[in-house]
Amino acid sequence: GAGVSQSPSNKVTEKGKDVELRCDPISGHTALYWYRQSLGQGLEFLIYFQGNSAPDKSGLPSDRFSAERTGGSVSTLTIQRTQQEDSAVYLCASSPPIGEQFFGPGTRLTVL
Amino acid sequence: AQSVTQLDSQVPVFEEAPVELRCNYSSSVSVYLFWYVQYPNQGLQLLLKYLSGSTLVKGINGFEAEFNKSQTSFHLRKPSVHISDTAEYFCAVSDLGRDDKIIFGKGTRLHILP
Mean pLDDT of A49-62: 92
More confident residue, B12 or B31: B12
Most distant CA pair in chain A: distance in Å?
41
Pick from A53, A99, A106: which is nearest to B43 by CB?
Answer: A106
- Contact assignment for A33 to B102 by CB distance below 8 Å: yes
More confident residue, A20 or B101: A20
- A100 CA to chain B: closest CA distance, Å? 7
Torsion of CA B52, B6, A36, A64, to 10 degrees: 110
Q: Is residue A29 within 8 Å of A102, Cβ to Cβ?
A: yes
pLDDT for B92 equals: 94
Mean pLDDT of B18-27: 93
- Contact assignment for A43 to B107 by CB distance below 8 Å: yes
Q: pLDDT digits over A7-19, tens only?
A: 999 999 999 999 9
Out of A42-46, B56-60, B78-82, pick the least confident.
A42-46
Q: Which residue of A has its CA nearest to B90?
A: A42
Q: Which residues contact B98 (CB under 8 A, 6 or more apart)?
A: B2, B28
Residue A62 has pLDDT above 80, yes or no: yes
Q: Is residue B91 within 8 Å of B11, Cβ to Cβ?
A: no
C-alpha separations of B89 from A9, B29, B47 in Å: 23, 25, 9
pLDDT classification of B67: cutoffs 50, 70, 90? very high
Out of B16-20, B51-55, B95-99, pick the least confident.
B95-99
